Amino acid sequence: MSFPTAVEAELDRRRRRWRPLLWLAVLALAGAVLVAVLLLVRVLQSGTPYYPDEETHFRHGSIGAETASGIPYKVWKALPTLFPEAFGTTGDYRAFGFLYDEDDDLPIGISRRTVSGVELVWFNCAVCHTGTVRNSTEDPPLTISGMPAQQLDLHLFTRFVLAASRDPRMAPAPLSAAMRDSGVGLDPVEALLWKVAVFPRLREGMIDRAARLSPLLDRQPDWGPGRVDTFNPYKVLAFDDDARALSDQEVVGASDFPSIFQQRPREGMQLHWDGNNTSLAERNLSAALGAGVTPQTADHAAIERVARWLGDLTPPASPHRPDAAAADRGKAVYMETCAACHGYRGDQGYVFEGARLGTVEPLASVGTDPARLNSYTPTFQQAQLRELFAGTPYAFRQFRKTNGYANAPLDGLWLRGPYLHNGSVPTLRDLLRPPDERPASFRRGRDVIDPDGGFVSPACTEGPGCYDTSLPGNSNTGHLWGTALPEAQTSDLLAYLLTF
């Protein structure tokens, strides 16, 4: 047995003094490694829910728009808390005309995808292509996939998002507090990730988008519910065009949301309102770009799944019950005056046949508002062909510049009001009147069926949703076919059209 020397005793004392600190250091290191691992595990998370049901996929499935255009789910949830003044009485996105299925906390047409650990949300096809109808204000609305989202005010929504990007409430502290209050607070690991990567990118992204889009919206009348400018936002967001440099001729291009039933029989037809593309696949892909997908982020499998389902999606039968004899007489008038351009409704459903169906009617002949046609310029067309999906099997080849609007099939016509490419004529009855007898202004965005075809559209002079036909792009002139018939024939024709 030996006794420790004085030196050993001193060493032992020091060791004992340092030991707790050593342990602390080890713990800190382990903690840092743990946080790093947790962060890494989180950042590696990517993916999107799969919906086995086709219609649920259409309404809620992701087509790939979130990655480049979306915002975090938690921000989406917090915005109503943060900006109560913009979200009206319901306190949710209904304020902008978004629709909800009962079983989801996101509106129809808003899909989710986790990218590098952050769950993002943005548009899919259903946001613009699903609407509601009812027989009277007392009835509950019936939601129909494939009909135009006639209540969705994307202009109002875009304006809101752009204004929010400049609002001090979007700073990390108030935004985090609002997320907590909305029940979607950040956990500690997430908070770190957001601090480093999410908050800065969110703000930068929103400010960048505002800088490009605001000058464009400033040059356009409000689109109002049920419409979007198809190509001009694309010019400034994807091709870096300066909105201030767009010509007056092209800068207004608001288009009514079309219905998108029964796409398969439309293969090979010149469609889009101006008939600028004959390929169904390209129209679908181009539509996905409009939803915020980019060539890098497109989920081709998901888009093709939607496209396949739309191929045979038929509109629900018209609930209008016009006098059968009148409708029969009206059919004779229609076959004589309209069917060559539009096809017709037969006993077994819509017949996609007509000598001029799916071709373009020159503007000089159809005479409707030229703005949408002019918004699609040869310069833009060439950029599309040159740049979009270039070098891949998806490269655009079919887009062309046309000189008019397309002679399109009229299936599901009862769900398509207001009518014409700019949605300038509220009812079918109005479309059969000469332009100076059509309503000069009316309120859009209702879903109660009008017995004259389309939706009840009260007269108005101003305010949100009031459509003024005197504004650029909004003219209700043209399409004179069927406007000079004897009154009895007009009623018969209307009776037949109400059965479409």
**Interface ranges with ligand HEC (CB under 6 A):** 63, 123, 125, 127-129, 228, 230, 255, 257-258, 260, 263, 266, 271-273, 283-284, 287-288, 290-291, 303, 306-307, 337-338, 341-342, 356, 361, 366, 368, 372, 405-408, 410, 413, 416, 419-421, 428, 431, 479, 481-482, 497
Quick one: 32 or 332, whose CB is closer to ligand HEC?
Answer: 332
For the bound state, the minimum distance from the C-beta of residue 272 to ligand HEC, rounded and expressed in Å, comes to 3
Closest CB to ligand HEC among residues 193, 428:
428
What minimum distance in Å lies between the beta carbon of 152 and ligand HEC?
8
Identify which of residues 117 and 473 has a Cβ nearer to ligand HEC in the complex: 473
Bridge-based pairing state of the strands 142-145 and 466-468: unpaired
User: Tokens 């699903």 label which residue?
Assistant: 130
Q: How far apart are CA 223 and CA 256, in angstroms?
A: 9
Q: Is 363 left (phi over 0), alpha (psi -120 to 50) or beta?
A: alpha
Q: Which is nearer to ligand HEC, 237 or 413 (CB)?
A: 413
Q: How far is the CB of 434 from ligand HEC (least distance, A)?
A: 13
Residue whose CB is less far from ligand HEC, 230 or 381? 230
Closest to ligand HEC by CB, 372 vs 438, is: 372
Nearest to 56 by CA among 302, 330, 343, 279: 302
- Min dist CB 260 to ligand HEC, Å, is 5
CA–CA gap between residue 461 and residue 477 (Å, rounded):
19
What the block records as the tokens of 339 is 């069917």
**C-alpha span between 430 and 419 (Å, rounded):** 9
Which of residues 79 and 363 has its CB atom nearest to ligand HEC in the complex? 363
Q: 179-217 b/e with 16+ CB inside 10 Å = b?
A: beebebebeebbeebbeeebbeebbeebeebbebbbebb
Choose between 199 and 331: whose C-beta lies nearer to ligand HEC: 331
Residue 198 CB, nearest distance to ligand HEC (Å)? Answer: 25
Question: Is the bond preceding residue 362 a cis peptide, omega within 30 degrees?
Answer: no
Whole-number minimum distance, CB 304 to ligand HEC, in Å? 10
Contact between residue 406 and residue 269 where contact means Cβ atoms under 8 Å apart = yes
Task: Provide the minimum distance between the beta carbon of 125 and ligand HEC in the complex, in angstroms, as a whole number.
Answer: 3
Q: What backbone phi and psi angles, to 5 degrees, belong to 161?
A: -65, -40
In the complex, minimum distance from the CB of residue 45 to ligand HEC, in angstroms, rounded to a whole number: 25
Characterize the bridge pairing of strands 227-229 and 254-256. Answer: antiparallel
| Residue ranges in 291-361 assigned as alpha helix (H) | 300-311, 324-337, 339-342
